[in-house]
Structure 1
């Protein structure tokens, strides 16, 4: 049986209730028939126009906050890629036939993202429940109108109280986030001296939620003229993941100083991870750099491979010593190691998966994007190169995963 052809544009326009589509810049691109009818606007008055040029705030209403609250909700949707449901709000609309005359409206909006192929928010679905008639309804004989006014006042008061509670919660959440990020910064200090070799580190938390996570980086000076560089990623977010990260980072730093071998350091870390809550399936890669022999010895536990960029623009991923994540095997086993030569002025880049992985893409696509960016920017100093990589690879509105990055000039 042939499946029927569905004209989704017509379905959208026939949807019951007010629904509009806007760009991430809050410009109208479409609206259904109910939206046009209930908002009192034609399609020509909406499409291609900024939402608050079409629906400005009522200057005669001191308590009006509909524009500010709607804008904040939409921008949260763009930043997080998640649906944002608003409390009931009053949003007066200017009569298009009588400028300066405002019509009282009560709306209950929801803003939802539509993601594009790149995983970024391409459109905002703005759905509005028009409840003005319910709030402003006039009763029949016997004082129904007075009862409706009382109901209106109570509902609006409760809605404003709920909005104030939401704002206080957001403020408290923002303070908690500042504390959490300060904790993260304390556990991820700036790198120490790397001799004559420039190094840059970056940490970018995911948008939304608490934004403290289990990503980490570390640089350890080895006896002689060596340097160990590592990055790791504990599964999950929040303070529990950060605490597990702190324990694992410290343990690997100690193991690195004792073993002088990346595979043995990861073997010791694997044993330790089995006794740490939340450490299961942590990924980590560590590299030992020998300046005298111009070689890198590395070992990887389920982590994206480091990238070695040669001065001619050739990018090599160090992927010949990859093993399962920490504590993923039922029993402990030795870890592999591999070697790679390098020349002066080459660049070593270690990173966590937030830099390259996207929900709608294969990891190979992310690695290709990273290689292309590294080849184009290879002559930049480490600090500038680190910023260029983040600009090229992370979504402009923020990423849904955390990112740690180390750039080292060899």
Structure 2
């Protein structure tokens, strides 16, 4: 059976476990039959309503804060884009036909983000495991004291796990701040390049606790030439930021002594094999000859640079693409291509965060970029950079970093 023939709505409703879909505002978008059965609610009582309105905490039991914990978890998943397997906790459910009467219930939930084509969280999948009967069975009939002891022990463990989870989240948040500061410190500021105007942009990912390893570089070379490079390191956090710095510095040095971009990337490939975490990193290097008005380029598995011509036409430099760094068992000579440009053209290099979206072919993103470049053809580098980010990056951001370099030729 083809995937297009599967009735996913029927699959969702037939799931034996209780499952609900929330919007990022914590409004029920849908629930399955098992959820309604376990919760003792009708679809009309749930779908379209906020979580806190459907299942509030029992005001007579202020120490039972399970619903507030669930809301905190869902908001965290919506913000970070990470799944959250919650610890065992208790929240009681009001009988639908007996107002003010609450049933003691125990749960083991998990919350999972669902991403849209633009990479941002659009829905939250919530699965409930009702373990009330397990708690009661462990307590045994007529064993109120044992049950109280068991409940206290379980919730002590749950609190301990919650504290550990909170400390991990705080540690990840601190690591993100440090990694972002390190990454920004290592990326160069734009400066005049043989009287050519340029603009650079770096946008960290959202919906993730760590920044990734995107980088850029641009500098003068002897012989009236300019080098422009961008790259992307696999991984995230401090480790990726450190690897990014090493690769950027190594390619900068190699570009100054190599005979063209291909040779420089070959040297970078050799170097990357000795750097932990540099495997499968991508990079592209373009060398602009301002006298002959040519662009020589070579790519190690990276999205192709774009040339915006004065008439608004866009060409992608995709004739010299090899695998990422360290992707082959042995180093190999890399290929290089060259293209001509006319005065007034713009060279645009970027990382995949600018064009790639989940469940979308890369060609769609490249077409979107080309259309945006044509629309803003007459803009200067700074204005063009801002326009591209505004047109191509969703308002809520993306789950991948974005680096962008524009050089007016």
Which TM class, normalised by the smaller chain length?
0.7 to 0.9
8 Å contact 2:22–2:30 — kept in the other structure?
A: yes
5 Å matches for 1:16-27? 16-27=16-27
Distance of aligned partners of 1:274 and 1:311 in 2 relative to their CA distance in 1, 3 Å threshold = same
The answer to whether the aligner puts 1:333 opposite 2:338 as a matched pair is no
5 Å matches for 1:53-132? 53-79=53-79, 82-97=82-97, 102-115=102-115, 121-132=121-132
Distance of aligned partners of 1:69 and 1:373 in 2 relative to their CA distance in 1, 3 Å threshold = farther
Shift of 1:42: 1.9
8 Å contact 1:202–1:386 — kept in the other structure?
A: no
Distance of aligned partners of 1:253 and 1:17 in 2 relative to their CA distance in 1, 3 Å threshold = closer
Counterpart secondary structure, 2:87: coil
Counterpart secondary structure, 1:130: coil
8 Å contact 1:79–1:398 — kept in the other structure?
A: no
Distance of aligned partners of 1:399 and 1:118 in 2 relative to their CA distance in 1, 3 Å threshold = closer
Partner of 2:204: 204
Normalization by structure 2: what TM-score?
0.83
Shift of 1:103: 4.5
Counterpart secondary structure, 2:129: strand
5 Å matches for 1:32-71? 32-71=32-71
Counterpart secondary structure, 1:308: strand
Shift of 1:217: 0.6
Counterpart secondary structure, 2:229: strand
The answer to whether the aligner puts 1:146 opposite 2:141 as a matched pair is no
Q: How many Å separate the matches in 2 of 1:32 and 1:325?
A: 44
8 Å contact 1:199–1:406 — kept in the other structure?
A: yes
Q: How many Å separate the matches in 1 of 2:251 and 2:402?
A: 19
Counterpart secondary structure, 2:311: coil
CA deviation vs aligned residue, 1:48-105 (integer Å, no higher than 9, x gap): 1222232234455444543443234324444555532111223344555565655543
8 Å contact 1:232–1:284 — kept in the other structure?
A: yes
8 Å contact 2:263–2:333 — kept in the other structure?
A: no
Mark the runs of 5 or more structure 2 residues left unpaired by the alignment.
none
When structure 1 is superposed on structure 2, of 362-371 and 106-115 the one drifting more is 106-115
Q: How many Å separate the matches in 2 of 1:148 and 1:238?
A: 44
Partner of 1:220: 219
Normalization by structure 1: what TM-score?
0.83
Partner of 2:407: 408
5 Å matches for 1:7-406? 9-79=9-79, 82-97=82-97, 102-115=102-115, 121-135=121-135, 140-141=141-142, 144-194=143-193, 195=195, 197-205=197-205, 207-208=207-208, 210-213=210-213, 215-223=214-222, 226-259=225-258, 261-328=260-327, 330-333=330-333, 335-344=335-344, 346-394=345-393, 398-406=397-405
RMSD: 3.4
Distance of aligned partners of 1:39 and 1:370 in 2 relative to their CA distance in 1, 3 Å threshold = same
Shift of 1:150: 1.9
